[in-house]
Amino acid sequence: MDLVTPPAVVPARHRRGAGVPPAPRTGDPSPARPRSTARRREPAGTPARVRLLALTVALLVAVLAVLITLEVRRERAGLAVIGEQTAPVVMASSDLYFALSDMDAQLANILLVGDETGLGFTRDEALTIYRDRRGEVSAALQRAAETADADPRAAQAVRGILDALGRYETLAAQMILLDGQDPHPAGRPAAPTLAKYRQATDLLKAELLPAAQGLIDRNTQILEDTYQRQRAVTFAVREWVVAAGAAALLAVLLLQVYLARRFHRWLSPALVLATLAVAGLGAGGLVLTTDGAEYLRVAKKDSFDSVLALNRARAVSYDANADESRYLVDPRRAAAYEKAFFGKTDQLVSLDGATLPTFDGRLAAALRDYRAGKGAGWQGFYGKAFRNITFEGEDTAAERTLVAYQTYQVDDRRIRALAGSGRLRAAIAFCTSYQPGDSNYHFSAYDKELAAWIGINEGWFERSIRDGERQLAGWTIIPAATASTVLVLLVLGVRRRVGEYR
Q: Is residue 196 part of a domain?
A: yes
Report pLDDT digits (tens) over 382-414: 999 999 999 999 999 999 999 999 999 999 999
How many CB atoms sit inside 10 A of residue 374's CB?
A: 10
Q: Over the stretch 449-481, which tens digit does the pLDDT of each residue have?
A: 999 999 999 999 999 999 888 888 878 888 999
CA 493/CA 255 separation, integer angstroms: 10
CA dihedral 100, 105, 107, 109 (to 10 degrees): -160
Separation CA 361–CA 353 (nearest Å) = 12
pLDDT at residue 200 in the model: 96
What is the per-residue pLDDT across 152-184, written as a single tens digit (0 to 9) for each? 777 888 888 999 999 999 999 999 999 989 888
CA distance 413 to 107: 22
Is 25 part of a structural domain of the chain? Answer: no
Residue 217 contacts residue 265 (beta carbons within 8 Å): no
| Cα separation, 492 vs 340, whole angstroms | 79
H-helix segments, 114-190: 123-146, 152-181
Displacement of CA 199 from its chain's centroid (Å): 41
- Asked whether residue 158 is assigned to any structural domain, the reply reads yes
Residue whose C-alpha is closest to residue 112's, from 328, 322, 414: 328
Question: Higher-confidence residue: 267 or 98?
Answer: 98
- Would you say 47 and 501 are in contact if contact means Cβ atoms under 8 Å apart? yes
Average pLDDT, the chain: 86
Whole-number pLDDT of residue 174: 96
Q: Which domain holds residue 227?
A: 46-337+352-491
Nearest Cα residue to 113 out of 131, 100, 126, 128: 126
User: Is residue 296 in a domain?
Assistant: yes
E strand or H helix at 226, and its extent? helix 209-263
Q: List, as one string, the DSSP characters of 380-420.
A: HHHHHHHTT--STTHHHHHHHHHHHHHHHHHHHHHHHHHHH
Measured CA to CA, the distance from residue 358 to residue 328 in angstroms comes to 22
Local confidence band at 11 (pLDDT 50, 70, 90 cut-offs): very low
342, part of any domain: no
Residue 501: predicted pLDDT: 54
Model confidence at 502, pLDDT cuts 50, 70, 90, reads: low
pLDDT at 76: 86
Does residue 209 belong to any structural domain of this protein? yes
Residue 16 lies in a domain: no
Residue 31 placed within a domain: no
Q: Which residues of 430-468 are buried (b: 16+ CB within 10 A; e: fewer)?
A: bbbbeeeebbbbbbebbbebbebbbebbbebbeebbebb
Nearest to 342 by CA among 376, 316, 364: 316
Task: Provide the 10 A C-beta neighbour count for residue 340.
Answer: 18
Average pLDDT of the residues in 56-72: 91
DSSP state of 374: S
Among 33, 49, 59, residue whose Cα is nearest residue 501: 49
* Distant-in-sequence, close-in-space partners of 268: CB < 8 Å, separation ≥ 6: 256, 259, 493
pLDDT at 160 (0 to 100)? 86
CB 171 within 8 A of CB 208: no
Torsion angle (degrees, nearest 10) of CA 356, 358, 360, 361: -170
Domain count of the chain? Answer: 1
pLDDT above 80 for 19 = no
